[in-house]
Amino acid sequence: MRHPILAVVLTMITSTMVLPHAFSEDMANVQLGTNFEISANRTISIQPQGLMIQLVNVTDSRCPSDVTCVWAGQASIDLALQMNGKNNLLTLVSSAGNSSTKSVGIYVIHLVKVDPYPTSKKHLQLSDYIISLKVTANSPLKQFKAGIAAKDVTCMQGYTLVIKSNGGIPACVTPETASKLATRGWTLSVSTP
């Protein structure tokens, strides 16, 4: 490249345009695996992992409830994520009752619902929307294949991390199953939930 400094400056400007704001002071803590609601100017912190989520934008082309349309439309939700000190932008889409799910690192983020549903009489602003989400842990094997050490795999609340003695593959199981697997020599180590 002819101008490496120019490329670095343009990259910095572009990244600040994608995530132009800091995470808000209005923060709520939510447990991994539970449904929660997020709105504009509110940050959700997923506990105990520390993933932070903020609603950045909603693009809503859903057919208003008081109108007959040929196409049902869709709602596109932009979320700012902060994980391990890195900022990311994630887009989830709700279309005709089907909502998207995306995997980000060790997490799976599910779009549950977008409220309110539009009408032809009111133009909705970002501050009007309440988005229902659920964040779960990716499967232990997917976390492991993504480079997470077996001992650092995150399990959903109520599950125990076990590591297979033959091969070192992690699994998340109920505490009762973990104890049976340990008795049978299947596990190398067992964590407590």
Q: What is the CATH number of the domain that holds 62?
A: 2.60.98
pLDDT at 104: 84
22/95 same-domain check? yes
Q: Which residue has the tokens 């208003």?
A: 64
Same domain assignment for residues 44 and 66: yes
Residue written as tokens 């132009």?
20
What pairing do the DSSP bridges indicate for beta strands 160-164 and 130-137?
unpaired
Distance, CA of 37 to CA of 68 (rounded, Å):
29
> In this predicted model, which residue has the larger pLDDT, 145 or 75?
75
Residue 90 and residue 112 in one domain: yes
Q: Where does the pLDDT of residue 174 fall: very low under 50, low under 70, confident under 90, or very high at 90 and above?
A: very high
Same domain, 128 and 153: no
pLDDT tens, residue by residue, 16-72: 344 444 555 677 888 888 899 999 989 999 876 678 999 999 999 999 989 999 888
Statement to judge: residues 50 and 70 lie in one domain: yes
Q: Considering the entire predicted model, what is its pTM?
A: 0.73
Domains contained in the chain, number: 2
Domain span at 158: 141-190
Average pLDDT, the chain: 83
Same domain assignment for residues 56 and 92: yes
Residues 52 and 71 in one domain: yes
Residues 132 and 179 in one domain: no
CA dihedral 156, 157, 159, 165 (to 10 degrees): 60
CA distance to 53, 57, 58, 85, 92, per residue, from 124 (Å) = 22, 12, 10, 33, 18
Q: Clarify whether residues 33 and 77 are in a common domain.
A: yes
- Is residue 100 located within the same domain as residue 150? no
Rounded Cα gap, residues 123 and 100, in angstroms: 24
> pLDDT by residue (tens digit) across 115-128?
999 999 999 999 99
Residues 71 and 123 in one domain: yes
